[in-house]
Structure 1
């Protein structure tokens, strides 16, 4: 919702201010389809030229994040801590029993309690791979933390591709607007014998190209890139929480301490309170019993 509000404010303030200042929309509306074809078409072509099909699909999908916001909400972080609590407790009580859950999470009675987390392949793979490695005696906390850090850095770099791609388009749009404006001036010069009224409208139409390039770059595409980056980085905290809890587990801290480490490393606006998490863990314990 906030994304739609932001777009509405941009258009209302820019064009509303122009109209209130006495500007006429006629020239803009007449030139807009052709300028948009040149500038938008060139930007789209440059975008396709600089990305492979996977990158194009990734970017198109991530544009929705501008309007949807972060994937992981307050209750998801609480559910993740409860899931990790169950897994760590079972792994310590019965190392053999944990294998069926980490080898086939889709069939696990523990993972199935948290369908949204189960549907996220990266979160599940991160949990299962780390716990599987620990069961194979690859349990040095410092080495595991380094491996997880590199893995998450690589995932974050990949996830930010769409933001970088959009920013490249935003950087090129003002120049493409100048290209469209120059073409408009060339067209005007070819009609230099026309009266001033006609030339004025033609020059005004040419300047729409410069306006459109700058407006799209700094009013829409650039902010889209920034929002996508913000959402991706926000969602990255979810995977960092997994790392913190599992590394704390390898340090052989008590299960409750491991979960508390995760809770305190949760972003403040998504962090469940201590009492809220305690109640959730009590429900987990009673359900397991």
Structure 2
């Protein structure tokens, strides 16, 4: 919703302001200029990005439309899940986790926490490291190094998408100039026409420059920034898992391990200590 509201504000401010000073909106309708700029931008986007980025466009637009995937309730679920799993491991030993991490879709524990159970990437991350725990891994420093390597890879994948959108912002002003130059060339080929026709042709050429800059700074650059902020917010979900699992490996009680995980979250979505305590108690009662 915020994304749509922002687009509406940009469009109304620019075109409303132009119309308010007496500009004629009809002059701005130059579809072939738009075809040149947007078509070339799309082509360059396809050339410059790997298939994984092109396939991820659906997820990208979903994030921009809806915002970060994880909300405060998602973080509460994550903390509740970690508490339940850590408590089970403390009470019955790490091997008690094996059945849950090997078949999370059939696990009564994971199914109580749909925010994680319905997220394949987060579920895989959690289960992979809990599986190491069940296999006897006890060195938290080695696990931390492995987690950091995987998180860096995940971040690089996200940064590829941000860079792809940013490249549109960087390139469309230049493509607008290309369209304008082609318009000027077309105008020079019609130099024998009367002034009113030449004026229309020159105006059409200048629309290319306007449209390229407008798309770059009105849409693509803000989209890249919004996507970057969303990915950084979602990254905290994994950092919270990392903090909790490492604390568990270091031998802390489940409540303390969950507090480590809570402190890794951003303040705007971080549940309070009381909220986490209530959530973990409810999880324990449900078990």
Give the TM-score normalised by structure 1.
0.95
Residue 220 of structure 1 corresponds to: 219
Mapping for residues 1-289 of structure 1, pairs under 5 Å: 1-29=1-29, 31=30, 33-95=31-93, 96-288=95-287
Cα RMSD, aligned residues only = 1.2
Shift of the alpha carbon at 1:201?
A: 1.2
| Aligned equivalents of 1:59, 1:132: Cα separation in 2 | 32
Shift of the alpha carbon at 1:8?
A: 0.6
| Aligned equivalents of 1:3, 1:187: Cα separation in 2 | 37
| Aligned equivalents of 1:118, 1:203: Cα separation in 2 | 58
Shift of the alpha carbon at 1:52?
A: 3.3
Task: Please say if residues 64 and 223 of structure 2, whose CA atoms lie closer than 8 Å, have aligned partners that are also in contact.
Answer: yes
Shift of the alpha carbon at 1:5?
A: 0.8
Task: Please say if residues 89 and 255 of structure 1, whose CA atoms lie closer than 8 Å, have aligned partners that are also in contact.
Answer: yes
Is the partner of 1:129 in helix, strand or coil?
Answer: helix
Shift of the alpha carbon at 1:134?
A: 2.0
Task: Please say if residues 77 and 115 of structure 2, whose CA atoms lie closer than 8 Å, have aligned partners that are also in contact.
Answer: no
What are structure 1's unaligned runs of at least 5 residues? none
Shift of the alpha carbon at 1:222?
A: 1.3
What whole-Å deviation, never above 9, does each CA across 1:4-36 have from its counterpart, x for those lacking one? 11001101111111111121112212x2x1111
Is the partner of 1:17 in helix, strand or coil?
Answer: helix
Task: Please say if residues 59 and 165 of structure 1, whose CA atoms lie closer than 8 Å, have aligned partners that are also in contact.
Answer: no
Figure out how many residues of one structure are paired with residues of the other and give that number: 286
Shift of the alpha carbon at 1:287?
A: 2.2
Task: Please say if residues 97 and 134 of structure 2, whose CA atoms lie closer than 8 Å, have aligned partners that are also in contact.
Answer: no
| Aligned equivalents of 1:16, 1:118: Cα separation in 2 | 47
Task: Please say if residues 59 and 161 of structure 1, whose CA atoms lie closer than 8 Å, have aligned partners that are also in contact.
Answer: no
Shift of the alpha carbon at 1:82?
A: 0.7
What are structure 2's unaligned runs of at least 5 residues? none
| Aligned equivalents of 1:246, 1:15: Cα separation in 2 | 53
Task: Please say if residues 79 and 261 of structure 2, whose CA atoms lie closer than 8 Å, have aligned partners that are also in contact.
Answer: yes
What whole-Å deviation, never above 9, does each CA across 1:119-147 have from its counterpart, x for those lacking one? 21222222222122123232211111111
Is the partner of 2:176 in helix, strand or coil?
Answer: helix
What whole-Å deviation, never above 9, does each CA across 1:99-136 have from its counterpart, x for those lacking one? 11111111111001012211212222222221221232
CA 1:172–1:81 in 2, change beyond 3 Å: closer, same or farther? same
Is the partner of 1:63 in helix, strand or coil?
Answer: helix
Shift of the alpha carbon at 1:151?
A: 0.5
| Aligned equivalents of 1:18, 1:138: Cα separation in 2 | 65
Give the TM-score normalised by structure 2.
0.96
| Aligned equivalents of 1:243, 1:12: Cα separation in 2 | 45
| Aligned equivalents of 1:98, 1:198: Cα separation in 2 | 77
Shift of the alpha carbon at 1:212?
A: 0.5
Is the partner of 1:267 in helix, strand or coil?
Answer: coil
Is the partner of 2:96 in helix, strand or coil?
Answer: coil
Shift of the alpha carbon at 1:184?
A: 0.4
